Amino acid sequence: MNDSHSSSKIPTVTLNNGVEMPILGFGVFQVGPEETEKAVREALAAGYRLIDTAAAYGNEEAVGAAIAGSGIPREELFVTTKLWVQERPAEQNTTRAFEDSLRKLGLDYVDLYLIHQPFGDYYAQWRAMERLAADGRTRAIGVSNFASDRILDLILNNDVAPAVNQIETNPFHQRADDQGILASEGVQIESWGPFAEGKNGLFSNHLLTEVGAGYGKSVAQVVLRWLIQRGVVVIPKTVSPARMAQNLDVFDFTLTDADMAKIATLDEGSTQFFDHRDPDMVRWLSARRLA
């Protein structure tokens, strides 16, 4: 983790192509298009500079409107969007889908473009993304929901290695082994669902509550701090301005090694959502087409 810059209090990580990415950002999954512009406007005002959206979230236009209205210089922002599963020919369709996303966002480049799901002809999608990166239309390219064997195969058979793998990572699904493999290949791990969307009683978890009490911090703050101390990029979602501020306020304390070790005991080693290798999910996600 790099220290914060003067323009922002949020520290960064350096990706494998030298691009700096804030270690904490703001996610907008399951935020409706009407609500998104307000939420992103409030998040930017609170100090977030990384916004994580996706073509599949249906809210890229609202994200773009909030960015345009913010008056924040483009180079201070880090915008991530994601490519949904494409029909063949996947190379051409990827370029077309990227241009749709850029138009909806009202931007002339994004900072990070991710393959959203490890399905379809993602090798062809990746080749198109390598070209988008070479042309400077996205500053970095990466993947999401790739198991370590799949990302390794992608790395071994292409010119450009993904800068990021965005995967479910939270106290109940800690991904230490996956993080180790990604780190050995120079790939940054990014957590989605840092709070497991509150599943499994996360916000009232006894151990996390007790750890937080020692620092005067909430469970949410403990979880974000624990991920950040592990070097994991986090993009928590909230539509509440008070929680936006709370989730940003995690840079004034350090969890002790003993508390990090306590949190490690919460790992259940499996997803709180669904397994991307479940054949029913492969069928369901692969069949989904964006309007």
Q: Which residues lie near ligand NAP (CB under 6 A)? A: 27-29, 52, 116, 144-145, 166, 192-198, 203, 218, 220, 235-240, 243, 246-247
Cβ neighbours of residue 143 closer than 8 Å, sequence gap 6 or more:
114, 115, 118, 122, 151, 154, 162, 164, 165, 166
171 contacts 208 by C-beta, under 8 angstroms: yes
**Considering beta carbons, is residue 65 or 223 the nearer one to ligand NAP?**
223
**Considering beta carbons, is residue 5 or 150 the nearer one to ligand NAP?**
150
Please tell me whether residue 88 adopts helix, strand or coil conformation. Answer: coil
The closest alpha carbon to 220, from 207, 233, 236, belongs to 236
Please state the closest distance from residue 6 (CB atom) to ligand NAP, in A: 27
Alpha helices, DSSP H, located in the chain: 33-46, 60-70, 90-105, 122-134, 148-156, 176-184, 206-213, 219-229, 241-248, 257-264, 279-287
Q: What is the CA radius of gyration of the chain?
A: 18
**Considering beta carbons, is residue 148 or 246 the nearer one to ligand NAP?**
246
The closest alpha carbon to 86, from 55, 62, 59, 131, belongs to 55
Please state the closest distance from residue 179 (CB atom) to ligand NAP, in A: 16
Catalytic residue among 57, 113, 123, 215: 57
Q: Which residue type occupies 82? A: K
**Considering beta carbons, is residue 92 or 277 the nearer one to ligand NAP?**
277
Q: Say how far apart CA 11 and CA 121 lie, in whole Å.
A: 35
Please state the closest distance from residue 57 (CB atom) to ligand NAP, in A: 7
Please tell me whether residue 165 adopts helix, strand or coil conformation. Answer: strand
Answer yes or no: 109 catalytic.
no
Cβ neighbours of residue 166 closer than 8 Å, sequence gap 6 or more:
52, 114, 142, 143, 144, 145, 190, 191, 192
**Considering beta carbons, is residue 5 or 282 the nearer one to ligand NAP?**
282
Catalytic residues: 57
